Amino acid sequence: MKQKRVHIVTMGCQMNVYDSEQMLRLLVPLNYRSTLRMDKADLILLNTCSIREKAEHKVYSFLGRVARMKRLRPDIIIGVGGCVAQQEGYRLAERAPHIDMVFGTFALGRLPSLIEQVKRQKRQIVDTNARAASEPLCVKGPVLKAERATAFVTIMQGCDNFCTYCVVPYVRGREVSRKPEEVLEEIRLLVENGIREVTLIGQNVNAYGQKNGQGCDFPELLGRVNEIKGLNRIRFTTSHPKDLSERLIEAFYRLDKLAPHIHLPVQSGSDRVLRRMNRGYSRDVYLRKVENLRDVRPGIAITSDMIVGFPGEERVDFEATVDLVRQVGFDSLFLFKYSDRPNVPAAKFSDKVPEAVKGERFSTLLEVQSEFTRKKNRALVGTTQEVLVEGPSKKLPNQLTGRTYCNKVINFADDMARIGQILPVRVVEAFSHSLLGHPVDKGYVEYSGENGGISYAA
Ligand code: SAH
Ligand code: SF4
Ligand code: F3S
């Protein structure tokens, strides 16, 4: 069989990163291998995200670029998968007649047969059907790209929470969990292939196991993952504050491999807005949980998501948000301007916040948070951190990149041979989004950086 090449473009969250790997896993037996060059590909797959308006626009501008390519090489196959595919289905096919197939989030496992169908039928194929009961949530297969040190592992998919702004329950469906044995087997295989850190992913990991009758909930699963020999670090994302149980908080005390970092999206600091968002917790409940986390694991890094300009957000609501940000002192914050999504309840709320006001609030909050991010990062200068070396830095030549146990990105000069190791690294300089370090076992270094220069001895 002739060797064929596939170019996969991934937009959106970690779930899509995992899913793109799943696609590749399905295509390897069909004799495809992955290429970074789109112009050399026989098959182009776009894995899309629909979370905000901007994400969806990105899909259409990408499809515009691909249209030219399809005109020049009509034999290439172009497929659009993921959340926009699930949401738009036939509308997407109609709007982009040059694409060969649209496959929704539940159709991922059917990719090989859809490609066959495209080849046979020479017409557009659309599959936004549900996953059949017999179809697994995730595809088993060989570990791909084994030369890395970290991996995502899907433990559940879908969401039953229906926050009023969010498209996820519509494009990812109801919560479904994988069997614990299946998750553990996948992690063991990854560890055998050199993986040292796993991030367990799901739209709402706290709901893990609640429906599949296996008697294993999320804290229990974490405990079992913690026992896997050869694995060093465990992370998870995302957990919903309303479901962050005492037992899960205790896991940060009990489990030695669970990294001291939690991403706990709060979305707003105003009770009135939280209610309209249907988040299911109050500001006080959130703050108490943060306090409990810090009690059981002092120094735990806490990051969050925040939406500004949700319909009906008044000045006082926004001030409550700013106040919460100051009160918590997040390690970092992902800030979003509210945007309408198809069919979600908030799209029909009449009291929309003008774009200019959203912009102002966004800048104000960004400034408030930047101060905390800088302060937190600066506090690390001079300390030694355990760093898992992930690979060459994408931005800095001759530098490696890794993350501290608290999930801060750190770059440092070292040998490629150290990829996959956990090293003590001294932090020498702090920037807004990363740190600069020096491996402790590399001896004495004179460092002169932007902060006026710091000298230290290892
Ligand atoms: N399951 C996660 C969120 C996943 S979506 C959770 O509940 O925590 C990632 C983030 O995108 C959300 O936390 C929210 O801050 C943002 N987001 C979702 N819908 C949005 C919308 N319509 N407009 C702006 N931001 C949105
Ligand atoms: Fe969306 Fe809310 Fe579900 Fe998160 S919990 S995926 S924000 S509906
Ligand atoms: Fe986007 Fe779908 Fe993830 S909408 S954020 S890719 S679940």
Contacts of 266 (CB under 8 A, 6+ apart): 241, 286, 304, 305, 306, 324, 328
Task: Please indicate, yes or no, whether residues 275 and 353 belong to a single structural domain of this protein.
Answer: yes
Q: What is the DSSP string of 294-310?
A: HHHSTT-EEEEEEEES-
Strand 233-237 and strand 156-157: the pairing is unpaired
Please name which ligand lies nearest the alpha carbon of 159.
Answer: 2
C-beta separation of 218 from 205 below 8 A: yes
The pLDDT of residue 442 is above 90: no
Nearest CA to ligand 3 atom 1: 49
Task: Please indicate, yes or no, whether residues 315 and 272 belong to a single structural domain of this protein.
Answer: yes
Mutate to test the pocket of ligand 1, among 307, 353, 358 (most ligand atoms within 8 A of CB): 307
311 lines ligand 1 (CB under 6 A): no
The pLDDT of residue 368 is above 90: yes
Task: Please indicate, yes or no, whether residues 364 and 328 belong to a single structural domain of this protein.
Answer: yes
Task: Please indicate, yes or no, whether residues 116 and 148 belong to a single structural domain of this protein.
Answer: no
**Closest-CA residue to 221 (of 196, 212, 388, 422):** 212
Which one-letter amino acid corresponds to residue 335?
A: L
The pLDDT of residue 46 is above 50: yes
Phi and psi torsions of 248, nearest 5°: -70, -40
Query: Does a cis peptide bond (omega within 30 degrees of 0) precede residue 10?
Result: no
CATH code of 50's domain: 3.40.50.12160
**pLDDT value at position 142?**
73
The CA 26 to ligand 3 mean position distance, Å, reads 21
The pTM of this model reads 0.93
Mutate to test the pocket of ligand 1, among 305, 310, 358 (most ligand atoms within 8 A of CB): 305
Atom of ligand 2 nearest to the CA of 204: 5
Query: How high does pLDDT run on average in the chain?
Result: 93
**Eight-class DSSP state of 391:** E
Q: CA of 109: how far to CAs of 21, 26, 103, 115, 135, in Å?
A: 12, 8, 10, 12, 7
305 lines ligand 1 (CB under 6 A): yes
The CA 51 to ligand 1 mean position distance, Å, reads 7
Task: Please indicate, yes or no, whether residues 120 and 170 belong to a single structural domain of this protein.
Answer: no
pLDDT, one tens digit per residue, over 309-328 is 999 999 999 999 999 999 99
The pLDDT of residue 214 is above 50: yes
Of 104, 127, 150, which residue is a domain's last?
Answer: 127
The CA 117 to ligand 1 mean position distance, Å, reads 35
CATH code of 452's domain: 2.40.50.140
Task: Please indicate, yes or no, whether residues 319 and 396 belong to a single structural domain of this protein.
Answer: no
Atom of ligand 1 nearest to the CA of 161: 7
**pLDDT value at position 435?**
96
Confidence of residue 272 (pLDDT cuts 50, 70, 90): very high
Query: What are the tokens at 282?
Result: 């109050």
CATH code of 168's domain: 3.30.750.210
Task: Please indicate, yes or no, whether residues 11 and 120 belong to a single structural domain of this protein.
Answer: yes
Q: What is the CA radius of gyration of the chain?
A: 23
The CA 52 to ligand 2 mean position distance, Å, reads 13
Mutate to test the pocket of ligand 2, among 240, 273, 281, 341 (most ligand atoms within 8 A of CB): 240
**pLDDT value at position 443?**
60
Of 378, 398, 415, which residue is a domain's last?
Answer: 378
The CA 105 to ligand 3 mean position distance, Å, reads 10
Nearest CA to ligand 1 atom 15: 305
Which one-letter amino acid corresponds to residue 133?
A: A
Task: Please indicate, yes or no, whether residues 214 and 269 belong to a single structural domain of this protein.
Answer: no
Tell me how far apart the alpha carbons of residues 162 and 437 are, in angstroms, rounded to a whole number. 42
97-101 long-range Cβ contacts below 8 angstroms, 24+ apart? 97/124, 98/63, 98/66, 98/67, 98/70, 98/71, 99/63, 99/66, 99/124, 100/124, 100/125, 101/77, 101/125, 101/126, 101/127
The CA 144 to ligand 3 mean position distance, Å, reads 22
Task: Please indicate, yes or no, whether residues 395 and 304 belong to a single structural domain of this protein.
Answer: no
pLDDT, one tens digit per residue, over 96-106 is 999 999 999 99
Q: What is the mean pLDDT of residues 432-451?
A: 69
Confidence of residue 1 (pLDDT cuts 50, 70, 90): confident
Q: What is the DSSP string of 157-168?
A: E------TT--H
**pLDDT value at position 439?**
93
Mutate to test the pocket of ligand 2, among 174, 204, 273 (most ligand atoms within 8 A of CB): 204
**pLDDT value at position 396?**
81
In this structure, of 33-37, 131-135, 371-375, 405-409, the range with the lowest mean pLDDT score is: 131-135
Q: CA of 308: how far to CAs of 80, 355, 383, 404, in Å?
A: 30, 10, 35, 30
Query: What are the tokens at 259?
Result: 């990294």
Task: Please indicate, yes or no, whether residues 242 and 174 belong to a single structural domain of this protein.
Answer: yes
What is the extent of the structural domain holding 351?
264-378
Higher pLDDT, 442 or 52: 52
Q: Report the domain count for the chain.
A: 4
Task: Please indicate, yes or no, whether residues 348 and 436 belong to a single structural domain of this protein.
Answer: no
Q: What is the mean pLDDT of residues 384-410?
A: 92
The CA 149 to ligand 3 mean position distance, Å, reads 24
168 lines ligand 2 (CB under 6 A): yes
pLDDT, one tens digit per residue, over 171-180 is 999 999 999 9
The pLDDT of residue 388 is above 60: yes
Please name which ligand lies nearest the alpha carbon of 280.
Answer: 2
Task: Please indicate, yes or no, whether residues 50 and 67 belong to a single structural domain of this protein.
Answer: yes
Q: CA of 394: how far to CAs of 296, 390, 400, 456, in Å?
A: 35, 11, 9, 27
Of 337, 353, 378, which residue is a domain's last?
Answer: 378
The CA 294 to ligand 3 mean position distance, Å, reads 30
C-beta separation of 10 from 62 below 8 A: no
